[in-house]
Structure 1
């Protein structure tokens, strides 16, 4: 009986993680939920087959299917998608920073009528915003525009204290470009391989 309750609680936690994160790889689920070996994690996810769908992108990537969305009250419909890598990169940052309770995905920051930015995610720690941006296939001109809008928000006093920017990108070359764009800001730029 207790084993059954524990299993149901674990399933619920995994489904809620998928609701929050949209897409998670098998290895990300292993870390987040202490699923042990790759084999055990695969077994657990197979048991959740009624509620999740998956596809391969160097490893299994899971997302909620209709039954899973109904079970946890998720509204967003996710399918197999080429944009899933964007979410997986964002979720790597989420996990690396300890799955903060204040984490919010795709939020609008700004001053009405003046300037606003939709960040990929943010969390607040010690009254300080940590703004996450994922640069997967984005053109650098779009990144430049976003950084300029963030600078404007800072100058307008939107933040109690200057935020820390956390970028996730694909290559060391792009890391250097982002560091140059963000000169003078508190910024950390990671590549996907930093989290392997």
Structure 2
């Protein structure tokens, strides 16, 4: 018989994996893999319409930055724009959107957080222009609640609120699956 065939599985393991390592020691091979995701790099934007007298955009952005850090994001920049009203398509003007594209290259942000509540059209418009995830203050607060909900009832209530928030934003997402009309019998 061959010597390898008569070895016990335990001795085979020791010779194969090396018995020089003491039990319980952490080595390069046995160190746990860090699976914690890197924090999202957030860029903050706001539109100052002048209607919030006594509450300037800078203060509002500081509060938004604090909320973003609470949610686990790393704030890499912030911009605000003076406008009479937010743009109905992209919330900000076309020039500011181009500035944000340059800031994206410079800072590498992965999420854009708007200070005001965005319409679904504004959110989709910004996502198309910038190619990053876009959320607003309401979504950010819901995410914070979801992180800190402990009881089953609390988690369910937060999930219900998130689903109600998402509902108007789900329109026109699956239009590529719809059948085209025309033909016999339609």
Using the size of structure 1 for normalisation, the TM-score is: 0.29
Bigger strand fraction: 1
The structure with the larger Rg is: 2
